[in-house]
Amino acid sequence: MPRKPPKGYFVKGHFVAYGSEEDAELKRAAKWDAEHSKTDLKKHSAHLQTVGEQLLTLKASLLQRLTLPDALLDAVAEAKRISDFEGRRRQLQYVGKLMRRLDEDQVAAIEAAIAEQHQGSAAETQRLHEAERWRERLIADDAALDAWRDVEPQADWQRLRALVRQARKAAEARPDTAPGQAQRQGRAYRELFQHVRAALDARADSTPE
């Protein structure tokens, strides 16, 4: 009686019998690939959802530079208007759905605009802290005025010295106040900060990238 041929299938011209070790290994590999691909898709979808939500915080000037579909722009505008939590959540999901219809170049452009805005915010915060440090230096030490010449060579030195003197007097008038508190209540203290901040901003704007 002839022996029945084993049941199986061919992989790249090679016969694999059902139930063999090779068959089991191929099935494990196929299952891993399917799960791995599904996980990657979920991660990509979650990333696009996050990027879509960040569109709501993008400045109008940066948003206008992007060539995005009207449907997505309308969905983003509508999400900004919705205050109800559940309604906003559903609208953001819709934004994410529209994000998944974009091509890679459009997504990359959105991510670049978001990064540009974050970098600008970081630079602004850095200048704010720098202005605060300069204000304290100018009030604490006469020598700081000479160092300030490197930042603002064409400063109105008479006005600047007057602001420094007035800020010092305000601080000396209330010696029992916590450090910095008296100055913040004084007009000269605020005006000195505004002057320093404006000069630092002007220097940053004039510095070539």
User: Do 51 and 97 contact (CB within 8 A), yes or no?
Assistant: no
- Looking at the structure, tell me whether residues 127 and 95 fall in a common domain: no
Q: Tell me what the mean pLDDT of segment 77-89 comes to.
A: 93
How many CB atoms are closer than 10 A to CB 105? 9
Residue 29 belongs to a domain: no
The whole-angstrom separation of Cα 120 and Cα 38 is: 36
The angle, 0 to 180 degrees and rounded to 10, between the axes of the packed helices 21-54 and 85-99 is: 120
- Look up the pTM and report it: 0.49
Residue 95, domain member (yes or no): yes
11 in any annotated domain: no
Q: Is residue 22 part of a domain?
A: no
1-33 confidence digits (pLDDT tens)? 556 677 877 777 788 788 888 888 778 777 766
Q: Identify whether 15 is part of a domain.
A: no
Kindly state whether residues 93 and 138 are assigned to the same domain.
no
Question: Nearest CA to 200 among 109, 108, 138?
Answer: 138
| Number of DSSP helices (H) and strands (E) in the chain, helices first | 9, 2
Main-chain phi, psi angles of 32, to 5 degrees? -65, -45
Task: Identify the pLDDT of residue 52.
Answer: 93
pLDDT recorded at residue 174: 59
DSSP H or E stretch at residue 119: helix 104-140
Give CA–CA dist 175/157, Å, rounded.
27
In a domain, 49, yes or no: yes
Q: Give the domain range for residue 91.
A: 37-102
Q: Say yes or no: 133 and 183 in one domain.
A: yes
Question: Any residues with CB less than 8 A from the CB of 3 and at least 6 apart, and which?
Answer: none
- Residue after which a domain boundary falls, among 68, 102, 136: 102
Residues 129 and 193 in one domain: yes
Judge whether residue 126 has pLDDT over 60: yes
Residues 95 and 127 in one domain: no
Least confident of 43-52, 81-90, 198-207: 198-207
Domain edge (last residue) among 50, 73, 102: 102
Residue 52 lies in a domain: yes
Residue 74 belongs to domain with CATH number? 1.10.60.30
Examine the domain organization and report whether 130 and 63 are in the same domain.
no
Other C-beta atoms within 10 Å of 179: how many?
A: 8
In a domain, 117, yes or no: no
pLDDT at 184: 46
Q: Which amino acid is at 71?
A: A
> What is the number of domains present in the chain?
2
Among candidates 60, 40, 43, 57, which has minimal Cα distance to 95?
A: 57
Share of the chain above pLDDT 70, in %: 87
- Is residue 154 located within the same domain as residue 200? yes
pLDDT, tens only, 131-171: 999 999 999 998 999 999 998 999 899 999 999 998 888 77
Average pLDDT, the chain: 83
